Amino acid sequence: MTISFTGITKAFGSNKVLRGIDLSIEPGEIVSLVGENGAGKSTLTRIIAGAYQPDSGQITIDGDPRKYNVPQDAMADGIQVIYQELKNNLFPQLDVASNLFAHDGTGEFGKFFVNKAKMHRRAAELLAQVGIDVDTRLPVGKLSFGEQQMVQIARCLNHSVRLLILDEPTAALDDRESEMLFRQVRKLQEAGVAIIYISHRLPEVFALADRIVVMRDGLVSLSGTPAELSEKQVVAAMVGSEVENFYPKEHHATDRVRLDVRNLGGTGFNGVSFQVRAGEVLGIGGVMGSGKGEVLRALFGLDNASGVVSLDGKDVSLASPRHAIGAGIAYLTPDRQAEGLTLAQPIAHNESLATLGAITRNGVVSRKQERQRCQEISTRLNVKCNSIHDAVGTLSGGNQQKVLLARCLLSNPAILLMEEPTRGVDVGAKAEIYSIINDVAAQGVAVVLVSSDLPELVEMSDRVLVMREGSINAELSVGALTQQAVLEHAMETIA
The answer to whether the pTM exceeds 0.85 is no
Q: Tell whether the model's pLDDT for residue 98 goes beyond 60.
A: yes
Q: Which of 28-42, 75-89, 251-265, 314-328 has the lowest mean pLDDT?
A: 75-89
Least confident of 246-255, 300-309, 327-336: 246-255
How confident is the model at residue 130, as a pLDDT?
78
Say what percent of the chain tops pLDDT 90: 58
130: closest CA among 89, 160, 158? 158
3-239: what fold? Rossmann fold (3.40.50)
Span(s) in the chain for CATH 3.40.50.300: 3-239, 257-491
Q: How far apart are CA 73 and CA 382, in angstroms?
A: 40
pLDDT, tens digit, 9 for 90 and up, residues 209-268: 999 999 988 999 999 999 999 988 988 888 776 655 678 889 999 999 999 999 999 988
Does residue 433 contact residue 397 with C-beta atoms inside 8 Å? no
Partners of 274 in beta bridges: 261
Backbone angles phi, psi at 85, to 5 degrees: -85, 120
- Pairing type for strands 415-419 and 329-332 reads parallel
Residue 495 pLDDT > 50: no
Pick the CATH number of 257-491 from 1.10.260.40, 3.30.365.10, 3.40.50.300, 3.90.180.10: 3.40.50.300
**What are the phi and psi torsion angles at 27 (to 5°)?**
-60, 135
341 vs 446: CA distance, rounded Å: 24
Contact 151, 140 (CB under 8 A): yes
